[in-house]
């Protein structure tokens, strides 16, 4: 990708995060218009087998697990003397996660089950709702790995399969957070977008845009 394309992705991602944040801060109608139909659709179909799968998926996206995977992979990169990959992964995930916590503290959006006592979440969750830490963390981790994968001297088929798996994990994790009713869809969308924005910014700062 060219530097111009990456810049557009970065700015576009943060522009959309800003629109979502502004809507939440002002209680704009478009936020409810996005959230309500998606929540209704996601929670309408909840068979036992799907619940079991998504509970596993959502736990796999817990921040301590994402942090642990990041640390292990960073150490692997360092052991193999892949200094750039180690630094890129560690800095992107850590800085992106810190920014996500800052956004949570700034907007103080209550979780769905706090705002509506009739909702019973399927997993415990504390803190604020916007943006989703699970959606953000998995995007930062697996999104960065996808970028590094495409810069690696390996077969194109491997790169494609790695990308498919990474994107699937990111999407499934975000879906699971809506399914277990601890996040609104706009929380998840903002988490994804913020993750993409940080990855694109790191890509630009690194100077590697080929």
**What DSSP letter does each residue of 119-157 carry, written as one string?**
---SS---S--SS-HHHHHHHHHHHHHHHHHHHSSS-HH
pLDDT 10s digits, 44-90: 988 999 999 999 999 999 999 999 999 999 999 999 999 999 999 99
CA 112 to chain centre: 19
pLDDT at 79: 96
Residues 23-56 as b/e (b if ≥16 CB within 10 A, e otherwise) read: bbeeeeeebeebbeebbeebeeeeeeeeeeebee
CB 109 within 8 A of CB 127: no
The closest alpha carbon to 95, from 136, 146, 145, belongs to 136
Is a pLDDT exceeding 70 seen at residue 115?
yes
pLDDT 10s digits, 2-11: 888 999 999 9
DSSP tag of 80: T
pLDDT at 209: 46
Is a pLDDT exceeding 80 seen at residue 192?
yes
**Which comes out higher in pLDDT, residue 210 or 42?**
42
pLDDT 10s digits, 176-185: 999 999 999 9
Sign of the alpha-carbon dihedral angle for 38, 44, 50, 53: positive
CA distance 207 to 101: 27
Is a pLDDT exceeding 90 seen at residue 106?
yes
């Amino acid at each position: 990708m060219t530097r111009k394309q990456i810049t557009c992705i970065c700015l576009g991602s943060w522009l959309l995060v800003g629109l979502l944040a502004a809507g939440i801060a002002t209680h704009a109608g478009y936020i409810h218009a996005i959230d309500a139909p998606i929540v209704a659709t996601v929670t309408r179909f909840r068979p036992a087998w799907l619940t079991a799968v998504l509970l596993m998926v959502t736990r796999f996206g817990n921040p301590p697990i994402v942090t642990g995977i990041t640390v292990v992979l960073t150490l692997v990169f360092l052991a193999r003397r892949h200094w750039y990959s180690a630094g890129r992964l560690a800095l992107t995930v850590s800085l992106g996660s810190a920014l996500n916590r800052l956004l949570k503290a700034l907007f103080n959006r209550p979780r769905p089950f706090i705002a509506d006592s009739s909702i019973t979440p399927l997993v415990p969750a504390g803190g604020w709702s916007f943006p989703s830490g699970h959606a953000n963390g998995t995007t930062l981790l697996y999104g960065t790995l996808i970028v590094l994968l495409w810069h690696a001297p390996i077969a194109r088929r491997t790169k494609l399969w790695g990308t498919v798996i990474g994107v699937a994990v990111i999407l499934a994790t975000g879906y699971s957070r809506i399914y277990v009713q601890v996040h609104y869809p706009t929380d998840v969308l903002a988490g994804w977008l913020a993750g993409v924005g940080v990855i694109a910014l790191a890509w630009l700062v690194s100077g590697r845009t080929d």
